Amino acid sequence: MNATLKKLALAALLLSSAACVAKASDPDVAEVKKAFVTRFPDRKVESVSPTPVSGIYEVVLPGRQIVYVDAGVKHLFVGDLIDAEKRESLTEKRVAELSKVAWKDLPLAAAMKEVRGSGARKVAIFSDPDCPFCKKLERETLKDVNNVTIYTFLYPLTQLHPDAMRKSRQIWCSKDRVGSWTAHMRQGTELSGPDNCDVSVLEQNQALGAKLGINGTPTMVFGNGRMVSGAIPSAEFEKYLSAQ
């Protein structure tokens, strides 16, 4: 056995021993939360739970941020916790669970509704009329998707796109909202028409997005509650759409 392998073997042995000791003295999660709040009084803790690694705890912070700490919160680390045997990220899996949205709670009347084919499958998309990735999603990812009902929530990110709110108002005030939206996003048609109708729905969408922790567009919520962000490829989109 070479020196490197000896070091790895020793490290594994020490880790195993440490885990056994930690498991025997694991504190209640309430104590871990108390220690975390004491050390980081400015951070709101949404939940604390043990991980498969003895003595290591998952702490969920606002915005679905996950960090890991030891029992006494003397050490904190950020990153993916990997199941080496299954070769999967437990952190990514957990974030997906935390991001799930109850479809029945979505106020679909506040969205633009586009039905394709049977419309059997469903997806809600939070989108910004000035977002280049939203346009990429519309022009490429959604191009050949069929048998789906698409609910588009206008979600202008005004801090990035100052003119997005005005355009969102024009789209919502249009007699044909879906037609106005698709022409602008897929064909690049300039918007025209009034923007002075009742657009309180846009404020509602902003509040809804904040509640769901949506801070980027496009963000999709599929029928099974899975939330996914970004202009993902059509094959990946179909996978999520068919998993309902």
Q: Is 190 helix (H, G, I), strand (E, B) or coil?
A: coil
How does pLDDT run across 28-56, given as a tens digit for each residue?
899 999 999 999 999 999 999 999 998 99
Question: Structure pTM?
Answer: 0.72
pLDDT tens across 161-189, in order? Answer: 999 999 999 999 999 999 999 999 999 99
78-95 in b/e form (b: 16+ CB < 10 A) is: eeebeeeeeeeebbeebb
Cβ neighbors of 163 (< 8 A, separation 6 or more) are: 130
Q: Is the pLDDT of residue 75 over 50?
A: yes
Taking CA 227 as the corner, what is the angle to CA 85 and CA 236, rounded to the nearest 5 degrees?
70
Domains for the chain: give ranges and CATH numbers: 3-98 (3.10.450.70), 103-242 (3.40.30.10)
Contact at 8 Å (CB) between 90 and 50? no
Buried b or exposed e, range 109-140, using 16+ CB within 10 angstroms: ebbbebeeeeeebbbbbbbbbbbebbbbbbee
pLDDT tens readout for residues 76-87:
999 999 999 999
Structure confidence at residue 233 as a pLDDT band (50, 70, 90): very high
pLDDT tens for residues 102-121?
999 999 999 999 999 999 99
DSSP annotation of 225: S
Please report which confidence band the pLDDT of residue 11 belongs to, taking 50, 70 and 90 as the band edges. Answer: very low
Residue 16, pLDDT score: 36
State residue 96's pLDDT score: 82
List the one residue out of 236, 175, 169 whose CA is nearest residue 197: 169
